[in-house]
Every structure is written in C-alpha cells, then in structure tokens.
Structure 1
Amino acid sequence: MGHKHSSLDEILAEDMHHWYNKFMKESPSGLITLFELKCILGLQGMNKDASSYVDQIFYTFDMDGDGYIDFVEYIAAVSLLLKGEINQKLKWYFKLFDQDGNGKIDKDELETIFTAIQDITRKYDIVPEDIVSLIFEKIDVSGEGELTLQEFIEGAKGHPEIMKMLKKMMDLTPVLVIIVEGRRNMIKSK
C-alpha cells in the first residue's frame, strides 16, 4: 500500500472490507494469537516491560477471554481507541494499566506501561516518571498511592493537562500504521 496516513481518522475511514482483508491476510484462520500479534507488529525480542505491555493489550482486546482476537474484537478495539467517547477510552486505559487486576492502579503499574509504550513506539518525548508524578499529584487527592477507576476517570477529566499527556502517550497511530501498511519488523533488534 505505499501511501502514508496522516491521522487516525484516515486509517479508520478505510472501508470495512479493506480492514477485513488485511485481518484475514495476516491471520487466515480469522483468529489472532498473542504470538501472531507480536509477529504482525514486528515486536519479537522486546524487553520484558514492552512484552508485558503487548500481552496486556492482547488480553484487553480479547474481550471474551478465549485466547484469541477475532475480527469483531479487533475492530471493536480499534474503533474504541480511535473513536470512543472519553469515558470509554479512560475505562480501557484503566483496564490496561491495572496489570494485576486488583481494581486499582499504582505508580509502578503506570510507569511500567508508559515505559513499555515508548519502547514499542520509539517516541521518547515524555518522561514516564514525569507524567506518573503529575497524575498522582493531581488525581490521588487522598495520597493512598493507588487510583480506583472512578478516581482515575474523574481526575483525568478534571485536569486537561493530564488528558493531553494521556492522549499523547496512548497514541497508537504507529501500531495501526504497521497493521494498515502490512509492514513487519519495523522495530529492529538493537
């Protein structure tokens, strides 16, 4: 496909038939395993944190928990990330950040995810420690060192600078471009 996409809207604007053909080309069985997702994105040989992040994304997208991402889950996840309402996106972010599944996110979980995102996207313009400190300084008003879903959503929505940083950190354009253009091994081993 040689053209470049300048925005997420353009990526999603491609017709559903085209998305389906791309999905089926990469996974003729109609199901993507975790290993296949890493292959599609050219993410073999990542560090432990980046690998854990991809695992977490996979299990978040695998909405029925069957160990596969099917086309409906794939399109639902992409649509949510690109077109979802802010509450939906924040709920998805929270689920992704809550690595241990205890219903709360702490500084270590956030820092691990943000560092892993940077390792995958190769965009290092925001220091993970800085955004984590800002989030907890502004949102964790009780000072517990953990955020519940409600605290996270209300706090993020109440602080435009946090929303701006979250949107920037969670921008999956590079990942979607890899999928759309069918490129493999974009991220090379060091």
Structure 2
Amino acid sequence: MGQKASKLSKEDISNLKKETKFTTRELQQWYKGFQRDAPTGILTKDDFIKIHKQFYPFGDPTDYATFAFEAFDIRHHGFVTFPDFIISLSIASRGTTAEKLKWGFRLYDRNNDGFISYDDLLRVVSAIYMMIGTQSVKFKDGEDAPEDRVNRIWATFNKSLDNKEHELISRKEFSDNKWAPDVIKALSVYDDLI
C-alpha cells in the first residue's frame, strides 16, 4: 500500500474487504480520514492519543488510547498502518463476539503473558473511566469507581478477591460467552465512530 497514495488501489480495497466488514465506500472514507490524520501513512502512539482526545473531550483518554494503540499495532512495529487500523477497527466495531473477545484479550492482557491479572483488568477499566470522564456519565449502581466494576467482573470469573494477586483469567475463560456482554460493552467505545 503506497504511503502517500491519496486513494486505495483496487487490489488494496479487494484485500481489505476480505479482511474487514467494511464496504468499498467505507474503506475509501476511512482511508481519506486516515491520510488526513496520518499524512506519512502511519499513526504513532501520540497520534492515537490526539485522535482519542478529540472524541473524548470530557476525560483523559491517554492511558486507554495507549492500550488501544498497542492492540491496533498488530505487527508490533511501534506504529499503526492503515491496514492494521482498519482491520482492528472492523473487529472492535463489527466483529463477531468471538473476534471481539480475541481482540479484547490483547487489550486487557497488559503484560502479554497470555493471562489477565486483576491488575491488568483494573488498569484497563480505570483507563476507560478516565477516558469517558466520570462527571459526564452515570454508572450502574455500585460501580461508581473502577474498582467496583473490576471486583464484579473478577467475581463473574469465580475469582477470589482475597487471592487476586495469585489468580489469573485465561484466554479460554475470557472467551467464555457468559462474560461476553460486559467485554463487548467495554470494547464498544469504537462503535460510535462507525
């Protein structure tokens, strides 16, 4: 894919349509916006944070944007290309439940050890609370603080709060559909962009 091309080639569109759930028109529109935000053809972590700040002006999206950037950086290059961006966006916004859970696991597994610890979960949930701004959003009763929500989620996995330093959520447990609605809701921050 040409770094400075103003339009996607037919081959690029064909390949991206196979890998995403976007139409040709949507791909072209997203590419135009991507080129505007990343004229060099790549998004850096700082670019990602800046873009998130535009969409979440009432909070501080820095931490969440950093975590999301790492999940969008599919090839672990330290930057996000348009294919990386659009494939991840397609999964996060239009993917199947199984695809969203697989992508979400990458977001929550902060140290990339193949498990989600209590601390991993708390870091991401806290980042979501900071991003959306707790002053502008009404949370569920008993979930005014990130710890309250994480404690509820942790218990959903039959994990003990008394032993939270030693227990972990496996990829298989995370992908279990009984918890899917909570995960999908947490990942739905990109749904409004589509």
Residue 165 of structure 1: aligned partner:
182
* 1:101-120 to 2 correspondences below 5 Å: 101-120=112-131
**What TM-score, normalized by structure 1, do the two folds share?**
0.71
Shift of 1:124: 5.2
Whether the aligned pair in 1 keeps the contact of 2:92 and 2:190 (CA below 8 Å) is: no
Could you give the per-residue CA deviations for residues 52-111 of structure 1, whole angstroms, max 9, x where no partner exists?
332221111111111111111111011001111111111111111111111111222112
Shift of 1:173: 3.8
Shift of 1:139: 1.7
Q: Which has the higher contact order (CA 8 A, sep 6+)?
A: 1
Structure exhibiting the larger radius of gyration computed from Cα positions: 2
Give 1:139's match in structure 2, choosing from 157, 175, 179. 157
Residue 10 of structure 2: aligned partner:
none
Whether the aligned pair in 1 keeps the contact of 2:101 and 2:184 (CA below 8 Å) is: no
**What TM-score, normalized by structure 2, do the two folds share?**
0.70
Q: 1:137 to 1:27 in 2, by over 3 A?
A: same
Residue 31 of structure 2: aligned partner:
20
Residue 4 of structure 2: aligned partner:
none
Cα distance between partner residues in 2 of 1:96 and 1:103: 11
Structure 2: gaps spanning 5 or more residues: 1-21
Whether the aligned pair in 2 keeps the contact of 1:140 and 1:147 (CA below 8 Å) is: no
Moved more, 77-86 or 132-141: 132-141
Whether the aligned pair in 1 keeps the contact of 2:64 and 2:128 (CA below 8 Å) is: yes
What's the secondary structure of 1:63's corresponding residue? coil
What's the secondary structure of 1:119's corresponding residue? helix
Cα distance between partner residues in 2 of 1:170 and 1:74: 15
CA RMSD, 1 decimal: 2.6
